[in-house]
Amino acid sequence: MTRRGVTIIEIIVVIAIIAMLLGLTSLTLSGVRSAGRNVSCLNNLRQMSIGARQYALQYNYFPPAIRYERRNGGLIRLTWDWVTTFDGQVIDSGALWQFTDNPGEIHQCPEYEGPSNFNGDPFTGYNYNTSYLGGEAPFPQVGWNLFRPGIPSSTCTRTSTCVVFGDGGWLNGANKFMRAPENPESMPWSLVYSGGQAFRHRGSTNVAYIDGHVGHVSRPWEGIHATDSLLSAFMDYPDNGFLSNDDRAYKPR
């Protein structure tokens, strides 16, 4: 009985099938890892939202987004996550830390790898609704008397639809100050369009709401005041965008 050997064609077919199976396995594992990072991100945002709510219940206002003080003859900035000098030295943790567990982990989006928000910030990836919730002082004004307070927590009526935190993103990386597209503050449009959301989770962006629940937004919005220059030179649309075309996603009342 004559034994037939394996032909070159059959070997090529087998190799192709193995390569295809390896490719499918790789895609499956990549998808599983991406899904795990997405769940971790949502959990971070949920903890941050609950922490901000606890802060607001204790102090009536939501945590300050940014303000300035003079210490030892120098100017420092106090943001919701870190207290730093202008040369990037971290002095202390921000207002949110005392109300969250494992704060050294939750401030980092596991899907983001890039430059820090500010010089010296050890964590990055998320931003905070400063247009409506987080009070802030204009640079370089110092002192609480010049501070623009956020909305008192007792007046918030849209707790299930108003976003507190989300995946921050603009042309040059992450950002920590979430801006609303109708610009309720006195600031240039370049800053507004530098405060968008990063749609980095397979085309979606994760957000947390006042009441503590989390979710995702799948469509990046341009904003009603969009221009080609703002979208390309600052926002980097559509990789980044707003959560709504107007301010409805950002307003707590």
Question: Residue 88: which residues within 8 A CB-CB, separation 6 or more?
Answer: 118, 119, 120
Beta bridge partners of 201: 204
Residue-wise pLDDT tens digits, 204-241: 999 999 999 999 999 999 999 999 999 999 999 999 99
Mean pLDDT of the region 176-181: 95
* Distances, alpha carbon 247 to alpha carbons 122, 225, 233, in Å: 31, 12, 22
Residue 65: C-alpha distances to residues 92, 133, 172 (Å): 15, 8, 20
pLDDT of residue 105: 79
Q: In what order do the strands lie in the sheet with 163-167?
A: 177-178, 126-129, 163-167, 205-209, 214-217
Q: What is the pTM of this model?
A: 0.84
What are the sequence ranges of the domains in the chain? 37-241
pLDDT tens digits, 29-59: 455 567 888 999 999 999 999 999 999 989 8
Q: Which two tokens stand for residue 120?
A: 């010296």
Q: How many CA atoms lie within 13 A of 153 on its CB side?
A: 18
Distance CA 219, CA 238 (A): 9
Q: Which single residue is written with the structure tokens 């799948």? A: 218
pLDDT tens for each residue of 87-125 = 878 888 888 888 887 777 788 999 998 887 777 778 889
Instruction: Inform me whether the pLDDT recorded for 1 exceeds 60.
Output: no
Q: When comparing pLDDT for 150 and 28, which is higher?
A: 150
